[in-house]
Structure 1
Amino acid sequence: FPDIYLIASGGVSGITDIERLDTISVPAVIVGKAIYEGRITLKEIEKMNLN
């Protein structure tokens, strides 16, 4: 379904999960709780956006 815009939400436990989702072309990830719990930092996300 190429026209579906998929957003991953829930179960994101670290930056590795975001990297894996990127490799399968998931365009968006909700990471609020992971940031709140300190499992992902804004600095890590910033580095991903610079690549």
Structure 2
Amino acid sequence: MGSFYELVAGLVTENDGEALSSAIDWAKLQLVHDELKSTPALYALVRELPAPDF
């Protein structure tokens, strides 16, 4: 299973499959991660999602 960041990146990547590359995208990803960690029940639920198939 991939890392949490890979999981979220797979969920928010553009439809054409390009990888997230800009600093702004990674900052947004960090904010999502921090928000999820502040909500333990939601974080646990997201952690149970299957890893994306890149």
Instruction: Identify whether the pair has TM-score above 0.5, normalized to the shorter chain.
Output: no
Query: What is the TM-score with the length of structure 1 in the denominator?
Result: 0.31
Relative contact order, CA 8 A, sep 6+: which one is greater? 2
- Structure number with the higher strand fraction is 1
Query: What is the TM-score with the length of structure 2 in the denominator?
Result: 0.30
